[in-house]
Amino acid sequence: MAILVAGGAGYIGSHMVKDLVEHGQDVVVADNLSTGHRAAINPKAKFYEGDIRDRKFLDKIFDNEDIEAVVHFAAFSIVPESMSKPLKYFDNNTGGMITLLEAMRDHHIKYIVFSSTAATYGVPEHMPIKETDPQNPINPYGLSKLMMEKMMHWADKAYGIKFVALRYFNVAGAAPDGTIGEDHGPETHLVPIILQVAQGKRDELSIFGDDYNTPDGTNVRDYVHVMDLADAHILAIKYLEAGNDSNAFNLGSSTGFSNKQMLEAAREVTGKPIPAKIAPRRPGDPDSLVAASDKARNVLGWDPKYDDVHDIIATAWKWHSTHPKGYDDRD
Ligand code: UFG
């Protein structure tokens, strides 16, 4: 049987597909290539180009392929963009989940592992954030994903579709063999932007705000390596296959790094000066987001291999420095 990876041409999805293939798993990828790259899809996976909001497209896949479980990455994920284009997020993310769950129900697909986010917690009441903490998102992206979690909850009750929601904190890094990496157009994430400055593709880093309620005034985030994240999804599939109940897990490292600390770490890894300036706050950014991730470790048996941001940045730097134009497949 195969795993369907929706969004398998994107940054995290493509690393998931690579990990599954390397574990000997048959993989089918569905992606509309709106933000993903054909070249990122592992050649051992079978690729269907289309949109998960298209019911006929999903029916074709579920009719043709023997799908056991869906891993769902096919969503928009840029916090500031969601502030200016909220309906785009509710349409693709939240709306896409309706079509996907309906198709899964009608084709009797029982398991889904879902990319949720720390953004569902909003401004946390205490740190590190636990899975049982209140979820009050402060941006449309976080709300779109919280609505998707709640839809899965009720689809489980009504149709028995079991889910694992994995709430990612800040994902970074690239496959250590340097074959695939992070390439968004335009890029908005901190680590690739810092590395683009190191490469000379940008003049300087703008640090968005230094007056937050954090030790050095810049936002604090919890960085997790993309391959460790992919491993957690494989464990989540096994957890569901073993007959366990639907559940939600944080995926982070339990350690926070400020934007200034990430800049320093990147200077050390790359050996480049990486000029930076302080710029105004970016809308939608909570002060700090750090995960309590002992639940994923204890229940799923997750054992992340990268616990040092320098090592995470080093794998990203390997990809960036060997692929200065990214996948180079844009029009
Ligand atoms: N930042 C800068 N300058 C930049 C880019 C980012 O200072 O040029 C700052 C941001 O303001 C923020 C931090 O770097 O303080 C991290 O920003 P990212 O855009 O890299 O990531 P976010 O924390 O906004 O969001 C990421 C994912 C979301 C996820 C969230 C969970 O993109 O999908 O982590 O923590 F929900």
C-alpha 72 – ligand 1 centre gap (Å): 21
| Composition of the chain by helix, strand, coil, percent to 5 | 40, 20, 40
Domain match, 236 and 267 both: no
Mean pLDDT of 167-180: 95
Distance CA 111, CA 152 (A): 10
Domain match, 84 and 159 both: yes
CA distances to 2, 35, 36, 185, 203 from 330, rounded to whole Å, are 30, 10, 10, 9, 22
Domain match, 101 and 244 both: yes
Q: Please, which pLDDT band fits residue 125 given cuts at 50, 70 and 90?
A: confident
Q: What is the pLDDT of residues 38-53, one digit of tens each?
A: 999 999 999 999 999 9
In a domain, 177, yes or no: no
Least Cα distance to 99 among 33, 39, 168, 50 occurs for 50
Mean pLDDT of 66-86: 96
- Domain region containing 283: 190-221+254-291+298-322
Q: Please, which pLDDT band fits residue 329 given cuts at 50, 70 and 90?
A: low
In a domain, 19, yes or no: yes
In a domain, 10, yes or no: yes
In a domain, 178, yes or no: no
Q: What is the CATH number of the domain that holds 236?
A: 3.40.50.720
Q: What is the pLDDT of residues 151-173, one digit of tens each?
A: 999 999 999 999 999 999 999 99
Identify the bridge partners of residue 72 per DSSP, sorted by sequence position: 6, 114
Find tokens 């993903």 and name the residue.
36
Question: Does the pLDDT at position 8 exceed 80?
Answer: yes
Question: Does the pLDDT at position 330 exceed 60?
Answer: no
Domain match, 17 and 142 both: yes
Residue 114 is encoded by which pair of tokens?
Answer: 């879902």
In a domain, 317, yes or no: yes
Q: Which of 11, 48, 89, 141 is an active site residue?
A: 141
Question: Does the pLDDT at position 307 exceed 90?
Answer: no
pLDDT recorded at residue 186: 87
Q: Cβ(18) to ligand 1 under 6 A?
A: no
Q: Cβ(285) to ligand 1 under 6 A?
A: yes
Residue nearest to atom 18 of ligand 1 (CA): 189
Q: Which atom of ligand 1 is nearest to the CA of 259?
A: 14
As for how many domains the chain has, the answer is: 2
In a domain, 141, yes or no: yes
Domain match, 89 and 140 both: yes
Question: Does the pLDDT at position 328 exceed 80?
Answer: no
Q: Which atom of ligand 1 is nearest to the CA of 145?
A: 36
User: What DSSP letter does each residue of 214-225 carry, written as one string?
Assistant: STTSS-EE-EEE
Domain match, 120 and 214 both: no
Mean pLDDT of 288-297: 94
Domain match, 237 and 99 both: yes
Question: Does the pLDDT at position 73 exceed 80?
Answer: yes
Q: What is the pLDDT of residues 219-244, one digit of tens each?
A: 999 999 999 999 999 999 999 999 99
In a domain, 179, yes or no: no
C-alpha 31 – ligand 1 centre gap (Å): 24
Q: What is the CATH number of the domain that holds 265?
A: 3.90.25.10
**pTM for the complete prediction?**
0.95
Q: Please, which pLDDT band fits residue 331 given cuts at 50, 70 and 90?
A: very low
Domain match, 35 and 92 both: yes
Identify the three-state secondary structure at position 42. coil
In a domain, 180, yes or no: no
Domain match, 246 and 259 both: no
Contact 192, 320 (CB under 8 A): yes
Question: Does the pLDDT at position 281 exceed 50?
Answer: yes
Domain match, 203 and 168 both: no
Question: Does the pLDDT at position 287 exceed 80?
Answer: yes
C-alpha 281 – ligand 1 centre gap (Å): 12
Q: State percent of the chain over pLDDT 70.
A: 99
pLDDT recorded at residue 231: 97
pLDDT, the chain, mean: 96
C-alpha 170 – ligand 1 centre gap (Å): 7
Question: Does the pLDDT at position 185 exceed 90?
Answer: no
Domain match, 227 and 314 both: no
Domain match, 285 and 314 both: yes
Question: Does the pLDDT at position 121 exceed 80?
Answer: yes
